[in-house]
Structure 1
Amino acid sequence: MGALTVWRFDSPKGADKAAEVLSVLAAGHLLGVHDAVTVSWVDGRPKPSTGRIAGRTGQDGSVTSLWGLLLGVIFFVPLVGAAVGAVSGTLSASLQDVGICDRFVHQVRDEVTPGTSALFVLAPAGVIDTIRDAFAADHPQLILALLSDEQDAAIRAVFAD
């Protein structure tokens, strides 16, 4: 089973610091991570900035599309307005097809706000405790979406298109 985890930090730089820790663990083969991205939202900015973690092995088109779709639905579509309501519904349905429910999207949207940051990690569910232990000093909030084996496989199939 796979997991899409979101680790929320109380500062705009918290996710970048955690990304460095994650990269060290992955480089040392202490845990497997499919892919990860950061979101940093500086106070006073209208929207967050995003970044990929360099050197991730999961940088195929399907995962890139997943991040674009997921981060777009969470952070950017709500800012555009009602004109794209139908598109938003279609995108949300695509996310639900791979096990990412509206409740998860709304929770992330409510929790990752100006002055905070988040690290989004796509990894096997078995590494969540290792990641939690590595980030313990920074006391992140964990927002979690567990995916079945079928949903995990469907992510690449749905977003490869």
Structure 2
Amino acid sequence: MSTLIAIVYPTEAKAEEVRQTLLGLQREYVIRLGDAVIATKAEAGKVKLNQLLNTTATGAVSGSFWGLLIGVLFLNPLVGVAVGATSGALGGALTDVGINDAFMKELSASIEPGNAALFLLIQEMTADKVLKQIQGFGGIVLKTSLDETKEQVLRDALQGHSGEAGSALPA
């Protein structure tokens, strides 16, 4: 079962630094992320999502390839690429993978302008090692799917308390 955690940071740069740290831990097989999205709120109140995976671009590239292949079969590769890229981009834009975008935007509406919320969908992790790496960054827990005890351990770790940081979080 996956765990959802949303942590608010004072800047987008700080949230990105934490996300890159977690992606580094993922390369070391300490954590397995299903998604890691940064949401920022502009002064005007508009929420912007910084996704790891751009489904529109991925769809366009994939569609271009298949369009080229089909276009070659029908002796018109340029039209095939154009149609494939357009349909792939449209399909990618309509695809939502990982954490629900509407949920993230709704939750991010409550943060202060200029702040950033890091949304994590964690599939597996070695909790003590992860907490040890992120505790120096600070942050405020906005929402989690953890039980109260584990959520408090996370809050304490983000505030810099040393205690038994990893003992109560899921492995």
- Structure-1-length-normalised TM-score: 0.54
Cα distance in 2 for residues equivalent to 1:45 and 1:129: 39
Gaps of 5+ in 2: 55-91, 148-171
Matched-pair contact (CA < 8 Å) for 2:3–2:121: yes
2:131 alignment counterpart: 132
Offset, 1:146: 3.5
Equivalent AA in structure 1 for residue 19 of structure 2: A
Equivalent AA in structure 2 for residue 46 of structure 1: G
Equivalent AA in structure 2 for residue 118 of structure 1: A
Offset, 1:62: 5.7
Instruction: Give CA-to-partner distance per residue, 1:55-112, whole Å, 9 cap, x none.
Output: 9xxxx95634x4323124334xxxxxxxxxxxxxxxxxxxxxxxxxxxxxxxxx43x2
Offset, 1:18: 1.0
Gaps of 5+ in 1: 76-108, 148-161
Are residues 39 and 127 of structure 1, via their aligned partners in 2, closer, same or farther at CA, if it must alter by over 3 Å?
A: farther
1:63 alignment counterpart: 97
Cα distance in 2 for residues equivalent to 1:40 and 1:128: 26
Are residues 141 and 128 of structure 1, via their aligned partners in 2, closer, same or farther at CA, if it must alter by over 3 Å?
A: farther
Offset, 1:127: 4.7
Matched-pair contact (CA < 8 Å) for 2:36–2:119: yes
Offset, 1:12: 3.0
Are residues 41 and 134 of structure 1, via their aligned partners in 2, closer, same or farther at CA, if it must alter by over 3 Å?
A: farther
The structure whose Rg is larger is 2
Are residues 129 and 47 of structure 1, via their aligned partners in 2, closer, same or farther at CA, if it must alter by over 3 Å?
A: farther
Instruction: Give CA-to-partner distance per residue, 1:34-65, whole Å, 9 cap, x none.
Output: 111111234x242232111259xxxx95634x
Are residues 6 and 126 of structure 1, via their aligned partners in 2, closer, same or farther at CA, if it must alter by over 3 Å?
A: same
Cα distance in 1 for residues equivalent to 2:127 and 2:46: 28
1:107-146 correspondence to structure 2 within 5 Å: 109-110=109-110, 112-124=111-123, 126-142=125-141, 143-146=143-146
1:1-161 correspondence to structure 2 within 5 Å: 1-42=1-42, 44-54=43-53, 61=95, 63-64=97-98, 66-75=99-108, 109-110=109-110, 112-124=111-123, 126-142=125-141, 143-146=143-146
Offset, 1:125: 6.5
Higher normalized contact order (CA 8 Å, seq sep 6+, divided by chain length):
1
- Structure-2-length-normalised TM-score: 0.51
Are residues 128 and 136 of structure 1, via their aligned partners in 2, closer, same or farther at CA, if it must alter by over 3 Å?
A: same
Q: Alignment length, in residue pairs?
A: 108
Matched-pair contact (CA < 8 Å) for 1:19–1:53: no
Structure with the higher fraction of residues in helix conformation? 1
Cα distance in 2 for residues equivalent to 1:135 and 1:46: 28
